């Protein structure tokens, strides 16, 4: 296998694992702030990837995508548990906990855009190290936009379902919960049909914000 392909996989995998770790640690931290110590006691309020690894979603799935030459990596981490009985506000707090994950991915994308501008606007892109950092930054932006959008699909067990459940009446919540066993399949279908357009648009805008005015040497 070509060294360039292996190097690209390593870069993507680093970005994916880091982003998943921040996503889950954000769930855990907000759950702690809302009064539930479960995630903290399990050691989940950390960026250590080992605490968040899901054998299938964090290891097997990305490796399968690599060996089948799928041009991008995707995966998931171990869900963060919390005890609703410990929450300060049983109606509001589950939504805050759920939204913390996608919000953290959006924050990573925004911070990466700012870092690219600060790092390159003055000096341009002159060395191979600059090119590597640029590629790493663009991967970080793309993966985090993807994670944020995918997780906001409003079907359980994805984070967006908590927001939809908050807005629905009790009958609607029961209907939403009933599709839980099929939620991932529904989310994959929705993302494959409708996610690429918004994702490509956001990535184009992010690229423009990050690179506008940067000169290549």
Percent of the chain residues topping a pLDDT of 70: 94
Q: 24 an active-site residue? A: yes
217 band by pLDDT with thresholds 50, 70 and 90 = very low
Please tell me the pTM assigned to this model. 0.91
Query: For the residues of 185-198, what is the DSSP string, one character each?
Result: HHHHHHIIIIIHHH
At residue 152, the pLDDT reads 96
Range of the domain at 115: 3-211
Tokens coding 210: 């990050």
Query: CA 109, CA 27: separation in Å to the nearest integer?
Result: 18
Among 4, 24, 126, 177, which one carries the catalytic annotation?
Answer: 24
The string of pLDDT tens digits covering residues 141-188 is 999 999 999 999 999 999 999 999 999 988 888 888 888 888 888 998
Q: Is residue 216 part of a domain?
A: no
Is residue 198 a part of any domain in this protein? yes
Average pLDDT, the chain: 91
Name the maximum alpha-carbon separation found in the chain.
60
Least confident of 9-18, 50-59, 122-131: 122-131
Among 8-17, 36-45, 71-80, 87-96, whose mean pLDDT is lowest? Answer: 71-80
> Is residue 133 a part of any domain in this protein?
yes
Task: Count up the domains in the chain and report the number.
Answer: 1
Specify the pLDDT at position 61: 94
Model pLDDT for residues 49-102, shown as the tens digit of each residue: 999 999 999 999 999 999 998 878 899 999 999 999 999 999 999 999 999 999
Question: Using CA atoms, how far apart are residues 132 and 125, in angstroms rounded to an integer?
Answer: 10
Q: Where are the alpha helices (DSSP H) in the chain?
A: 3-33, 38-41, 61-67, 93-120, 128-151, 160-167, 170-178, 183-190, 196-211
Give domain status of residue 157, yes or no.
yes
- Model confidence at 120: pLDDT above 80: no
Residue 186, domain member (yes or no) = yes
Residue 190 lies in a domain: yes
So what's the pLDDT on residue 172?
87
CA angle, residues 107, 130, 116, in degrees to nearest 5: 25
């Amino acid at each position: 296998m070509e060294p360039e392909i292996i190097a690209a996989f390593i870069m993507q995998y680093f970005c994916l694992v880091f982003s998943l770790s921040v996503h889950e640690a954000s769930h855990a931290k907000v759950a702690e702030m809302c009064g539930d110590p479960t995630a903290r006691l399990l050691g989940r309020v950390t960026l250590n990837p080992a605490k968040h690894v899901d054998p299938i979603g964090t290891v097997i799935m990305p490796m399968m995508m690599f060996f089948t030459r799928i041009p991008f990596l995707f995966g998931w981490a171990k869900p963060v548990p919390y005890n609703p009985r410990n929450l300060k506000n049983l109606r509001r707090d589950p939504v805050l906990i759920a939204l913390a994950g996608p919000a953290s991915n959006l924050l990573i994308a925004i911070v990466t855009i700012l870092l690219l501008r600060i790092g390159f606007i003055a000096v341009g892109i002159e060395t191979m190290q600059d090119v590597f950092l640029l590629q790493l930054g663009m991967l970080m932006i793309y993966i985090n936009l993807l994670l944020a959008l995918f997780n906001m699909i409003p079907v359980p067990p994805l984070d967006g379902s908590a927001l939809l459940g908050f807005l629905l009446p009790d009958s609607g919540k029961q209907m939403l919960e009933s599709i839980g066993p099929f939620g991932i399949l529904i989310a994959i279908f929705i993302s494959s049909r409708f996610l690429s357009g918004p994702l490509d648009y956001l990535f184009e805008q992010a690229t423009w914000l990050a690179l506008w005015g940067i000169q290549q040497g």
